[in-house]
Amino acid sequence: MAAIVISRDRDGRDGSDAGRREFEDSLARRCADAGLQVVMVPHLYHAAEDDGVWSELQGLGARAVASWLYPRAMDWLLRRHGIEGATPLGMGLFACADDCLREVLSLAGGGSGQGGIREVPGGGAERWYPVIDAERCAGCGQCLQFCLFGVYELDAAGRPTAAQPDNCKPGCPACSRICPRGAIMFPLYKDEAIAGAPGRFMAPDAGAKAMFYARTRKPCPICGRRYESAAPRRKQPAGSVCRECGLPLEPPAQPSSRDDLDSLIDDLEKLR
């Protein structure tokens, strides 16, 4: 029988309100009435890496997972835990539970038999960590070079992965800002591009690039210079800094007052 998973919010701790719980319960009832099996789970982003909910979802064969995260963020969170084939639905993108139900039924092909609702208990501590869109990741490793907290490691294929997610500093989205492909998401962040909103991708701006070169002390590929320290630099006039790293440009060399005749005379003097 077709199943849908509903990932609950955290009772206000993620900026939620009573309306979200009402939406979840309404969607669950409507799905069950339509003949679907509904599995209510705690907020999946906060589920620990070894939480039993992941193994349960792996064997469930769900057609859809509805949550308050944006679909791209939920998709890659599920894939991180070996769960593929379930379409992620962002409940916040629907005006009402009925609209979400119609999408669920189109994915499930309609319900059959007796529907039901099962609540999976649990819910751990709040977490904060990056979710990587592997299809956008270019494997450049800038996140690994930049991160101060040891979140990233290279996997067997030599690509960066968030191997130690709980090392991440709560509230810090800096690695997302410096990722050149917009592959790193923080699903609970207020900026829609960083949170993984549909059609929105973070792109490094001048400040983010400067932050990367200041942190890593790597030479800028444009001007070749390095930051002397990671301290923020004072704002410089437009056009006076490197467009890549933000370091002040070297002043242009002053034209020589000597002409070709002077040089020729010097060369003749050397021959005497």
Amino acid at 42: P
Confidence at residue 265, expressed as pLDDT on a 0 to 100 scale: 62
Triad 137, 199, 109: Cα angle to 5°: 100
Q: Which of 15-19, 135-139, 215-219 has the lowest mean pLDDT?
A: 15-19
Residue extents of the structural domains in the chain? 3-119, 131-204
Fold of the CATH domain 3-119? Rossmann fold (3.40.50)
Task: Give the containing element (helix H, strand E) for 209.
Answer: helix 206-216
Q: Give SS3 for 132.
A: strand
pLDDT single digits (tens) 27-69: 999 999 999 999 999 999 999 999 999 999 998 888 999 999 9
pLDDT at 15 over 60: no
Q: What is the residue-averaged pLDDT of the chain?
A: 86
For 131-204, CATH number? Answer: 3.30.70.20
Distance CA 13, CA 242 (A): 42
Percent of the chain predicted with pLDDT > 70: 83
